């Protein structure tokens, strides 16, 4: 019911926008015809719709999961309360995971700074082998509803129509945030020379198109975000598959920040479907909260259910570093069909199906509009497959970097354990305490079916999976490239044939035009001056003889004219049939 109400408000806003963009003459014509003039929605209705799709920043839902030995506790807070929850984890908790639904932007960077600077940035960077260890990120691909994505995009594009609400929206968006967060946002906006209004902050909620950017790199300086205003006629080849006809594949950055005290902060604007199964359409109809809470649709929902009743009991290492690796490796293989027993069409299978259809259609006869659409589908499919390959390669790079850090930490840990063992032995101790932080290769975990894999094993498994996927997608890209070349070759040949036919027709028209130019005036004047209603005068022949003679001559002239006009085609047909019989 609520979605229908907001949909009605958006429809009225679209109609009002279309009317405002019309010229003066069209507006007058609308009023003269007596048609109803659209009226904009009331400001309260607009604010309610905006709050539903782009909540005020202080009302954003932040998820917190505390992991204990034997259980995990889940809670939800708003962004305005995040300051006190990022300070430290509760007593007895091994890891505190905080997930904020923030995309790349000012607010994202401000929350990051407050989190990392709580106990000093230097303390955060000393826990790993490199200074980048506390700042891990990976690019995600997830599935959104086409209707939901179009709604978010259209609302943002219509922001100029409701510019009268901008001041109120700017105030409502951040008025509930903590003073520390507001001050950081204001300072950052002034430093970067950008605005920090409502529309500037909520733009990060809109995901990136799959093919919109080559790679979501993080260049120095302010980020422009997704180019929403230029997406009037976006098209995805994936829609040609029945299973994905209501889906919109998008990209997001999933960024993580962790401290040595066991607190992990993750931020991403992703709220789509991560796990693919036969109920994909059902998940796409869920609200954002419903999808994020569902263990069958979302990685976030799944991880809480995974450890709800076991907590850290089966972790090889009860540390925030191991959980970080677990989380990133789960994200790195999405979207996939593994969790539900592969009961759905995977993305690779869908693109294989689409490619087969495109390869069959390239042999269709040339049609003026259909051929242009076919070329667009080829190009769209190529762009999407190339983008997926780039995302997978970026994930492989991230996983290799993560594996390097994990291996380096293992080496440092083993050397520290060896030194501690020597100190115990030299002191004459009877028991040697072997301390391990990560427990990468502890064989006792292989004996327990509920035990989680070590960090290294998870990364190696993900790397193998990603490399297999890259190989499959690159084969599809190469197959599509060859098919595209064949398509263009066929179309070039068809165009040459059409050009030859057109040239032949032009020659025929030229001959007929010449004959017409010569004989039309002669026919007119001879007919005009030779009109006689009593037969042919001064002639011993009658009208029957006249028509036989003139008809035969006219037929011969027409026959030879047509043979001359179509001489090239006749010559080709004779040669095709083996030449004239001798």
3-state secondary structure string, 87-145? CCCCCCCCEEEEEECCCCCHHHHHHHHHHHCCCCHHHHHCCCCCCCCCEEEEEEEEEEE
Domain boundaries, the chain: 2-41, 46-425+434-491, 496-576
User: What count of other Cβ atoms lies within 10 Å of the Cβ of residue 531?
Assistant: 7
Give the phi and the psi of residue 336 in degrees, each rounded to 5.
Answer: -140, 170
Q: Are 256 and 102 in contact (CB under 8 A)?
A: no
CA distance 189 to 551: 91
Within its chain, how far is the Cα of 264 from the centroid?
A: 28
CA distance 41 to 27: 19
CA distance 340 to 301: 15
Secondary structure in 3-state letters for 184-226: HHHHHHHHHCCCCCHHHHHHHHCCEECCCCCCCCCCCCCCCCC
Report which of residues 445 and 214 the model is more confident about.
Answer: 214
Look at residue 109 and tell me whether its pLDDT is greater than 60.
yes
CA angle, 223 as apex, 221 and 224 as ends, to 5°? 135
CA distance 427 to 257: 40
Look at residue 66 and tell me whether its pLDDT is greater than 90.
yes
For residue 22, the model assigns a pLDDT of 77
Report which of residues 198 and 271 the model is more confident about.
Answer: 198
Write down the residue that tokens 């006219």 correspond to: 554
| Six-digit token string for 411 | 């080496």
Give the pLDDT band of residue 570 (cuts 50, 70, 90).
confident
CA-closest candidate to residue 156, choices 117, 199, 201, 194: 199
Report which of residues 573 and 284 the model is more confident about.
Answer: 284
CA angle, 267 as apex, 105 and 273 as ends, to 5°? 110
| Six-digit token string for 241 | 């598959």
CA distances from 478 to 213, 359, 411, 509 (A): 21, 13, 41, 46
Q: What is the mean pLDDT of the chain?
A: 81
CA distances from 179 to 103, 174, 389 (A): 21, 10, 43
CA distance 210 to 395: 15
Q: Are 13 and 156 in contact (CB under 8 A)?
A: no
Return the minimum-mean-pLDDT range out of 83-92, 210-219, 445-454. 210-219
Look at residue 124 and tell me whether its pLDDT is greater than 60.
no
Look at residue 451 and tell me whether its pLDDT is greater than 90.
no
Whether residue 392 has a cis bond before it, omega within 30° of 0:
no
SS3 content of the chain, % helix, strand, coil (to 5): 60, 10, 30
Scanning 530-542, the segments in alpha helix (DSSP H) are: none
Calculate mean pLDDT across residues 516-532.
62
Reported as a single tens digit per residue, the pLDDT across 324-352 is 999 999 999 999 988 878 889 999 999 99
Report which of residues 498 and 358 the model is more confident about.
Answer: 358
Reported as a single tens digit per residue, the pLDDT across 297-333 is 999 899 999 999 999 999 999 999 999 999 999 999 9
User: What count of other Cβ atoms lies within 10 Å of the Cβ of residue 366?
Assistant: 14
Residues 6+ apart with CB under 8 A from 380: 211, 235, 236, 237
CA distance 47 to 155: 12
CA trace torsion 301, 306, 309, 315 (10° rounding):
-130
CA distance 252 to 207: 6
Phi-psi region of 439 (alpha: psi -120 to 50; beta: other; left: phi over 0): left
Scanning 337-367, the segments in alpha helix (DSSP H) are: 347-361
Residues 6+ apart with CB under 8 A from 242: none
CA distance 506 to 499: 10
Look at residue 506 and tell me whether its pLDDT is greater than 80.
no
């Amino acid at each position: 019911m609520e979605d229908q109400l907001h949909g009605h408000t958006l429809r009225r806003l679209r109609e009002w926008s279309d009317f405002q963009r019309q010229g003066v003459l069209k507006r007058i014509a609308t009023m003269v015809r007596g048609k109803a003039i659209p009226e904009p929605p009331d400001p309260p209705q607009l604010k309610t719709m905006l709050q539903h799709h782009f909540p005020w920043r202080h009302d954003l839902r932040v998820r917190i999961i505390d992991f204990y030995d034997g259980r995990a506790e889940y809670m939800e807070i708003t962004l305005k309360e995040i300051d006190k929850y990022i300070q430290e984890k509760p007593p007895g908790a091994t890891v505190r995971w905080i997930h904020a639904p923030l995309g790349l932007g000012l607010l994202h960077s401000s929350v990051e700074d407050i989190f990392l600077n709580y106990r000093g940035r230097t303390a955060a960077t000393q826990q790993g082998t490199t200074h980048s260890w506390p700042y891990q990120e990976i690019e995600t691909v997830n599935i959104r509803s086409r209707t939901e994505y179009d709604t978010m995009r259209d609302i943002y594009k219509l922001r100029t129509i409701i510019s009268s609400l901008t001041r109120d929206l700017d105030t409502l968006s951040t008025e509930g945030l903590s003073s520390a967060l507001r001050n950081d946002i204001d300072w950052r906006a002034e430093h970067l020379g950008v605005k920090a209004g409502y529309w500037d902050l909520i733009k990060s909620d809109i995901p990136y198109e799959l093919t919109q950017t080559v790679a979501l790199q993080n260049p120095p300086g302010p980020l422009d975000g997704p180019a929403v205003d230029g997406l009037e006629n976006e098209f995805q080849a994936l829609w040609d598959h029945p299973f994905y006809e209501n889906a919109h594949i998008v990209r997001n950055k999933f960024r993580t920040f962790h401290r040595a005290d066991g607190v992990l902060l993750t931020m991403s604007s992703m709220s789509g479907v991560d796990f693919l199964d036969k109920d994909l359409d059902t998940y796409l109809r869920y609200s954002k909260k419903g999808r994020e809470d569902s263990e069958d649709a979302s990685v976030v929902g799944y991880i809480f259910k995974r450890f709800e009743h076991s907590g850290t009991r089966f972790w090889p290492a009860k540390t925030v570093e191991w959980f970080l690796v677990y989380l990133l490796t789960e994200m790195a293989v999405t979207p996939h069909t593994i969790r539900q027993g592969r009961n759905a069409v995977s993305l690779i299978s869908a693109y294989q199906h689409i490619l087969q259809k495109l390869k069959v259609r390239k042999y269709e006869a040339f049609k003026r509009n259909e051929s242009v659409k076919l070329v667009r589908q080829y190009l769209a499919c190529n762009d999407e497959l190339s983008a997926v390959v780039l995302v997978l390669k970026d994930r492989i790079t991230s996983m290799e970097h993560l594996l390097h850090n994990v291996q380096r930490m293992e080496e440092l840990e083993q050397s520290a354990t060896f030194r501690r063992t020597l100190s115990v032995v030299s002191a004459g101790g009877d028991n040697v305490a072997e301390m391990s932080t990560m427990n990468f290769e502890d064989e006792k975990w292989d004996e327990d079916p509920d035990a989680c894999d070590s960090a290294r094993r998870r990364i190696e498994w993900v790397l193998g999976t990603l490399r297999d996927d890259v190989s499959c997608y690159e084969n599809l890209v190469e197959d599509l490239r060859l098919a595209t070349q064949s398509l263009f070759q066929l179309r070039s040949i068809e165009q040459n044939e059409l050009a030859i036919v057109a040239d032949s027709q032009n020659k025929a028209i030229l001959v007929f035009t010449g004959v017409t130019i010569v004989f039309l005036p002669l026919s007119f004047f001879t007919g005009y001056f030779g009109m006689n209603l009593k037969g042919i005068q001064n002639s011993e022949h009658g009208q029957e003889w006249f028509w036989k003679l003139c008809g035969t001559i006219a037929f011969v002239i027409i026959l030879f004219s047509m043979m001359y006009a179509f001489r090239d085609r006749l010559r080709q047909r004779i040669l095709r049939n083996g030449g004239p019989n001798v």
